[in-house]
Amino acid sequence: MTGPGAGLIRSRPVATGLEIVETAGLRTGYRPHRHDSYVIGTTAHGVQRFRYRGEERHALAGQAFILHPDERHDGRPGTEDGYGYRALHIAPRLIAEASGLGPLPFVASPVLTDAGLIQAIGALIEARVDAPSDTALVSALADLTAALERLAGRPRRKTPIAKETLRRIKVELDDTPGAAVSMSALEAAYGLSRFAIARQFRRVYGVSPMRYGLMRRLDVAKRRILAGESLADAALAAGFSDQSHMTRHFLRAFGMTPGRWQALHESR
The pLDDT tens digits for 215-258 are: 899 999 999 999 999 999 999 999 888 999 999 999 988 988 99
Q: In CATH, what number is assigned to the domain containing residue 214?
A: 1.10.10.60
Give the pLDDT of residue 252: 87
Give the pLDDT of residue 51: 93
pTM listed for this prediction = 0.72
Is 50 found in the same domain as 102? yes
Is 78 found in the same domain as 21? yes
Is 108 found in the same domain as 15? yes
Region of 15 (left: φ > 0; alpha: ψ -120 to 50; beta: rest) is: beta
Whether residue 236 lies inside any domain: the answer is yes
The answer to whether residue 17 scores a pLDDT higher than 80 is yes
Q: Answer whether 37's CB lies under 8 Å from 68's CB.
A: no
pLDDT above 70 covers a percentage of the chain that reads 92
Whether residue 187 lies inside any domain: the answer is yes
Is 92 found in the same domain as 202? no
From the list 266, 260, 237, 228, the residue with the least C-alpha distance to 247 is 260
Whether residue 214 lies inside any domain: the answer is yes
Is 85 found in the same domain as 13? yes
Domain hosting residue 94, numbered range:
8-130
How many structural domains compose the chain? 2
- In the structure, how many helices (H) and strands (E) does the chain have? 10, 9
Q: In CATH, what number is assigned to the domain containing residue 115?
A: 2.60.120.10
Whether residue 138 lies inside any domain: the answer is no
Whether residue 139 lies inside any domain: the answer is no
DSSP letter for 55, please. Answer: E
**183-190 and 194-205 are packed helices; what angle lies between their axes, rounded to 10 degrees?**
90
Is 88 found in the same domain as 28? yes
Give the pLDDT of residue 2: 43
Is 87 found in the same domain as 21? yes
For residue 30, what pLDDT band results from cuts at 50, 70 and 90?
confident
Integer Cα distance of 50 and 44 in angstroms: 15
3-class SS at 83?
A: strand
Give the pLDDT of residue 1: 43
For residue 267, what pLDDT band results from cuts at 50, 70 and 90?
low
Whether residue 153 lies inside any domain: the answer is no
Is 167 found in the same domain as 94? no
Whether residue 88 lies inside any domain: the answer is yes
